[in-house]
Amino acid sequence: MADPTRESRTVQAMHAIDAITGAVIPPVHPSTTYARDTHNALIGGQDYRRPQGPTEKQAAGVLAMLDGAADARLFSSGMAAIAAVLETVPAGGHVVAQTEMYYGAKLLMQRAQKQGRITLKLVPPGDLDALTAASRPDTNLIWTETPANPSWAIVDIAKAADIAHAVGATLAVDSTCAPPCTTRPLELGADIVMHSATKYLNGHSDVLAGVLSTRAADERWDEIGVVYNETGAVPGAFETWLLLRGLRTLFVRFERQSETALKIAKRLLKNPHVGHVFYPGLKSHPGHVIARTQMTGGFGGMLSVRVKGGFDAAARFAAATKLFIQATSLGGVESLIEHRKPIEGAGSPVPDDLVRLSVGLESAGDLLADLGQALAVAHDQ
């Protein structure tokens, strides 16, 4: 038979049958240290669990397969993974990132800029002319996020890669909201892809982890490995095992979340209390055509709306839902809602009236009814 698809290999964690017991579920290996024989030789080739123990190696192998990567590494959080990449930028090196992206990553880069560690230029996501203008011969790293949080702007990864490589820079893509069941940035020309594995990859809101995957095991990847080992920002064995368990259902979860999110986006377009709907699966979305070529397995469960009535109406809307849970994060089986501006703070460019939704696995009809009643409550003043 032909080689199994990525989906089948993911479901079986790459057919990881335990050699000792025959268990079809990979075991968890919590040991931090490993014994040697009477000749002081390692019994199993492993001496210590930092940077990677057997459980972490198993999960990293599945993730590398999913991303089409030469190698992958697990981190204790998405931010730890981002910090590891930023740490490889030489002192005073030039970094280009986005005005709209995960605000924690942007704050980290701005902090490095204030300390004189890097120079930083921010450009609007998807604006290739601005990206070209910002890229210089001394640009070391271009950091993109697509879809970009929270308007879900789309970046053309292949063209961004061309721009980065023209000046000798590394293109890193935060693909947290477009996991490898739908987008594989490395195959589009990116050099490094980052996932906050806390989100879609795990999918159950019970693991904190991050992932870096690389197109080539090059000098930068080796340096990331040094940072990885020396800082010790590695996940626990049990958290890694939970991530591996969650990965098995990634494809079916993401497909269902994408289907429901598209239904919700189309319905909200018709709601008189909604001023705008941001979702890359809508034909009206500015990045829809590019998204359709890059996100081949669905447009995801993330969408945002601007609620008529401003800040107060948006706050009332988020507080009035009964099924959507008012909480930060995304990609889990439960649906979440968040009035974004208070989360990011006064200096954020996010509009006052923007509310972000993470669509889970509940009934689409129930979710639609909940949003409808909450919008009615928000405007019944």
pLDDT tens track for 285-300: 999 999 999 999 999 9
Examine the domain organization and report whether 195 and 130 are in the same domain. yes
Are residues 216 and 188 in contact, defined by beta-carbon separation less than 8 angstroms?
no
Among 164, 181, 169, 144, residue whose Cα is nearest residue 287: 144
The pLDDT value recorded for residue 89 is: 98
In a domain? residue 65: yes
50 has catalytic annotation: yes
Quick one: how far is CA 134 from the chain centroid?
A: 24
Are residues 26 and 16 in contact, defined by beta-carbon separation less than 8 angstroms?
yes
Examine the domain organization and report whether 260 and 289 are in the same domain. yes
Are residues 314 and 355 in contact, defined by beta-carbon separation less than 8 angstroms?
yes
Examine the domain organization and report whether 173 and 274 are in the same domain. no
Domain ends where: 232, 247, 262?
247
The residue annotated as part of the active site, out of 9, 34, 50, 159, is: 50
The pLDDT value recorded for residue 381 is: 58
Examine the domain organization and report whether 289 and 315 are in the same domain. yes
In a domain? residue 221: yes
pTM reported for the whole predicted model: 0.95
Examine the domain organization and report whether 281 and 226 are in the same domain. no
**In sequence order, what are the residues at sequence separation of 6 or more whose Cβ sits closer than 8 angstroms to the Cβ of residue 308?**
272, 273, 274, 275, 353, 379
In a domain? residue 269: yes
In a domain? residue 1: no
The CATH number assigned to the domain holding 259 equals 3.90.1150.10
Structure-block tokens of residue 271: 């709601």
Domain ends where: 247, 269, 285?
247
The residue annotated as part of the active site, out of 117, 199, 220, 316, is: 199
Structure-block tokens of residue 290: 């590019």
Q: Long-range CB contacts (< 8 A, 24+ apart) of 219-222?
A: 220/88, 220/170, 220/191, 220/192, 221/70, 221/71, 221/192
Question: What's the number of domains the chain is made of?
Answer: 2
Distance CA(202)–CA(183), nearest Å, equals 16
Examine the domain organization and report whether 160 and 87 are in the same domain. yes
Are residues 55 and 16 in contact, defined by beta-carbon separation less than 8 angstroms?
no
The CATH number assigned to the domain holding 240 equals 3.40.640.10
Half-sphere exposure of 14 (CA within 13 A, CB side): 11
Among 31, 26, 86, 87, residue whose Cα is nearest residue 60: 26
The residue annotated as part of the active site, out of 6, 49, 102, 191, is: 102
Examine the domain organization and report whether 240 and 128 are in the same domain. yes
The residue annotated as part of the active site, out of 67, 156, 174, 370, is: 174
Are residues 146 and 131 in contact, defined by beta-carbon separation less than 8 angstroms?
no
The pLDDT value recorded for residue 49 is: 82
In a domain? residue 93: yes
Angle at 295 between CA 294 and CA 297, to 5 degrees: 140
In a domain? residue 329: yes
Domain ends where: 247, 272, 287?
247
Distance CA(123)–CA(375), nearest Å, equals 34
Place of tokens 């996020």: 145
102 has catalytic annotation: yes
Domain residues for the domain of 259 are 251-378
The pLDDT value recorded for residue 84 is: 97
In a domain? residue 14: yes
Task: Identify the segments of the chain with pLDDT beneath 70.
Answer: 381
174 has catalytic annotation: yes
Examine the domain organization and report whether 115 and 209 are in the same domain. yes
Examine the domain organization and report whether 291 and 155 are in the same domain. no
The pLDDT value recorded for residue 13 is: 83
In a domain? residue 170: yes
Examine the domain organization and report whether 214 and 272 are in the same domain. no
Backbone φ and ψ of 34, nearest 5°: -135, 140
Examine the domain organization and report whether 349 and 215 are in the same domain. no
Examine the domain organization and report whether 296 and 355 are in the same domain. yes
